[in-house]
Structure 1
Amino acid sequence: MAVFTTVSRDELARWLQSFDLGELLGYEGIASGIENTNYFVDLARGRFVLTLFERLSPQELPFYLELMKHLASHGIACPDPVADREGRLLSTLHAKPAALVTRLAGRARMDPGPAHCALVGEALARMHLAAVDYPGTLPNLRGLPWWVETTPKVLPFLSTDQSALLRDELATQQRFADGRVCAALPRTAVHADLFRDNVLFDQAADGSPRLGGVIDFYFAGVDSWVFDLAVTVNDWCIVDADGRFDDAKLAALLGAYRAVRRPSEAEAEAWPTMLRAAALRFWLSRLFDLHLPRPAEMVTPKDPAEFERILSARRDSASAPLC
Structure 2
Amino acid sequence: MAVFTAVSLDDLTHWIEQFPLGKAIAIKGIASGIENSNFFITTERGEFVLTIFENLTFEQLPFYLQLMRHLAERGVLVPAPVANAQGELVVPLHGKPAAIVSKLDGTSQMQPQPLHCAAVGAMVAQMHLAARDFPLSQPNLRGLDWWTETTPKVLPFLSSDNAALLRAEMAFQHAFATGEAYARLARGPVHADLFRNNVMFDGDRLTGFFDFYFAGCDTWLFDLAVTVNDWCIVPETGVLDAARVRAMLDAYHAVRPFTADEAASWHAMLRAAALRFWLSRLYDFYLPREAEMLTPHDPSHFERILRERIATPAPGLFA
TM-score by length of 1: 0.97
* Distance in 2 separating the partners of 1:80 and 1:251: 31
Matched to 1:189, the amino acid is P
Report the counterpart of residue 130 of structure 1 in structure 2.
130
Q: 2:317 aligns with which of 300, 315, 322?
A: 322
Q: CA deviation at 1:24?
A: 1.1
Corresponding residue for residue 69 of structure 1: 69
User: How far is 1:182 from its partner?
Assistant: 1.0
Q: Compute the displacement of 1:319 (Å).
A: 1.1
Match of 2:239 in 1: 244
Q: How does 1:199-238 map to 2 (within 5 A)?
A: 199-203=199-203, 209-238=204-233
Q: Match of 1:304?
A: 299
Q: Is the 8 A contact 2:8 2:27 kept in 1?
A: no
Could you give the per-residue CA deviations for residues 266-295 of structure 1, whole angstroms, max 9, x where no partner exists?
111110100000000000000000000000
* Counterpart mapping for 1:44-193 below 5 A: 44-193=44-193
CA deviation after TM superposition for structure 1 residue 136, in Å: 1.7
**How far apart are the structure 1 equivalents of 2:124 and 2:17?**
36
Q: Could you tell me how far apart the structure 1 residues matched to 2:8 and 2:306 are?
A: 43
2:247 and 2:317 map into 1 onto residues whose CA distance is: 12
Following TM superposition, by how much is the alpha carbon of 1:212 offset from its aligned partner in structure 2, in angstroms? 1.3
Secondary structure (helix, strand or coil) at the match of 1:133 reads coil
> How far is 1:298 from its partner?
1.1
Per-residue CA distance 1:77-110 (angstroms, 9 max, x = gap)? 1111001111000100000100000000011111
- Return the offset for 1:232: 0.4
Q: Offset at 1:30?
A: 0.4
- How far apart are 1:210 and its partner, in Å? 0.3
Structure 2 partner of 1:39: 39
Does residue 10 of structure 1 match 2:5? no
Instruction: Look up the match of 1:253.
Output: 248
- List runs of 5+ in structure 2 lacking aligned partners: none
- Structure 1 consecutive aligned stretches of length 4 or more whose deviation exceeds 2 Å: none
Q: Which amino acid counterpart does residue 147 of structure 1 have in structure 2?
A: W
Counterpart Cα distance in 2 of 1:9 and 1:242: 43
Partner of 1:311, secondary structure, is: helix
> What amino acid is aligned across from residue 208 of structure 2 in structure 1?
G
User: Aligned-pair distance for 1:163?
Assistant: 0.4
Q: CA deviation at 1:46?
A: 1.7
Specify the alignment match of 1:206 in structure 2: none
Equivalent AA in structure 2 for residue 37 of structure 1: S
Residue 185 of structure 1 deviates from its aligned partner by: 0.5
Q: Deviations over 1:49-69 (max 9, x none)?
A: 000000011111000000000
Name the aligned partner's letter for residue 210 of structure 1.
Answer: R
- Deviation string 1:163-186 (CA, Å, 9 cap, x unpaired) is 000000000110111111111011
Aligned to 2:275: 280
Aligned residues: 318
Deviation at 1:8, TM superposition (A): 1.5
Deviation at 1:74, TM superposition (A): 0.6
What is the SS of the residue equivalent to 2:18? coil
Q: Aligned partners of 2:178, 2:244: CA distance in 1, in Å? A: 32
- The one-letter code sitting in structure 2 at the alignment partner of 1:100 is I
Matched to 2:247, the amino acid is A
Tell me the C-alpha RMSD between the 2 structures.
0.7
**Shift in Å at residue 27 of structure 1?**
1.2
Paired with 1:20 and 1:281, the residues of 2 have a C-alpha distance of 39
Q: CA deviation at 1:241?
A: 1.4
Percent of paired sites with the same residue: 59
SS at match of 2:132: helix
